[in-house]
Structures are given as structure tokens and as C-alpha cells.
């Protein structure tokens, strides 16, 4: 490997290390916000689910909802729409 390539590699590694530190700090801030929300009586688990859903495209959310409903009905956890219609 040429010395210029080694220098570039070191720079990339250093940048990644710095970003990892920043990421860790940001994650701590996010955890603090969730802790505040929890202390105010909000359900953090549901908030995290909302954050996940907000990041999804609407088509993907609809597909996930449909599959979840299908699995829940198949496992008998909720009644199907056709139960009792006969």
C-alpha cells in the first residue's frame, strides 16, 4: 500500500472513530429525552414504536399492519372479520 493510501486510510478510520463518539453522545441525549417522557407519564415503548412507524413509508406500514392482523387472526389472538357472520 502506498503511503498516500495509508494516510487516507488513517483519516477515514479517524473520522469513523469521531463519528462513533458523536453517535454515542447523541444516543445518550435520546435516552435522556425518553427518560424525561417516562417521568411525565408517557409510555416509552409506544413512543419508540411511533418513531419506528414514522420512519417507514406508508406502503410499508400498511403491509406490516396487514401482516400483523393476519398473524393475530391466525393465532386466535383477535377474532377474524368472518367470525360470526354466518
Distance CA 80, CA 74 (A): 8
In terms of Cβ atoms closer than 10 Å to its own Cβ (0-12, 13-18, 19+), residue 34 is middle
User: What's the predicted TM-score (pTM) here?
Assistant: 0.69
Q: Where residue 24 falls among pLDDT bands split at 50, 70, 90? A: very high
Whether the predicted pLDDT of 76 surpasses 70: yes
Distance CA 15, CA 21 (A): 10
Whether the predicted pLDDT of 11 surpasses 80: yes
Q: What is the pLDDT of residues 28-74, one digit of tens each?
A: 999 999 999 999 999 999 999 999 999 999 999 999 999 999 999 99
Domain extents in the chain:
3-74
Amino acid at each position: 500500500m502506498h503511503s498516500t493510501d495509508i494516510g487516507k486510510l488513517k483519516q477515514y478510520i479517524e473520522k469513523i472513530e469521531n463519528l462513533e463518539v458523536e453517535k454515542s453522545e447523541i444516543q445518550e441525549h435520546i435516552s435522556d429525552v425518553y427518560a424525561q417522557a417516562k417521568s411525565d407519564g408517557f409510555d416509552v415503548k409506544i413512543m419508540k414504536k411511533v418513531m419506528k412507524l414514522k420512519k417507514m413509508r406508508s406502503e410499508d406500514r400498511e403491509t406490516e399492519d396487514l401482516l400483523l392482523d393476519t398473524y393475530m387472526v391466525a393465532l386466535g389472538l383477535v377474532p377474524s372479520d368472518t367470525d360470526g357472520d354466518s
